[in-house]
Amino acid sequence: MALPRADNVDLNQYGYNSLRAIKEDGTIINMADIQGSRIRSGSIMGRVTLTASATALRINSADLTYRNALTVINDSSTIVFIDFNSAVNTSTSFLLNTGTGTTFYFDPNDPVTLWALTTENETNVGVWEMR
């Protein structure tokens, strides 16, 4: 069954009861296939614009206080590179393919900033900061 293209789609009306993301090409990423974390009050989600320059993976100007997990969803058609410092690069950093996502877990008392970039076009990725 083809899903309509829209920003806000109630997937339950199409018989889907798990959280899913629709990629730019219309295919679906089942979020249950991505290792998750407990979501607590104060968790935030949004999109981060990436370019060829290192960009911090966070929704606001600072990492979420007491963040224990960060999920990145690359629902774009551009490969993304992620690292634990702003020296993120295409040869030694973690490669996040298109149509995939991953979750990083942290000690909430020891904040870690993750950085990302792309070498192709400017792109947006989904980011969930979880407490």
Domains in the chain: ranges and CATH: 35-130 (2.60.120.770)
On the CB side of 16, how many CA atoms lie within 13 Å of its CA? Answer: 17
State the pLDDT at residue 12.
40
At 14 the pLDDT is 42
Task: Identify the CA nearest to 68 among candidates 130, 128, 2, 4.
Answer: 130
Tokens 């900061």, residue?
Answer: 129
pLDDT less than 70: residues of the chain: 1-38
Instruction: Answer whether 0.85 is exceeded by the pTM.
Output: no
Q: What is the chain's length?
A: 131
Amino acid at 47: R
Q: Return the pLDDT at 111.
A: 84
Q: Residue 9 has what pLDDT?
A: 41
Contact 130, 69 (CB under 8 A): yes
Residue pair 92/32 in contact (Cβ under 8 Å)? The answer is no
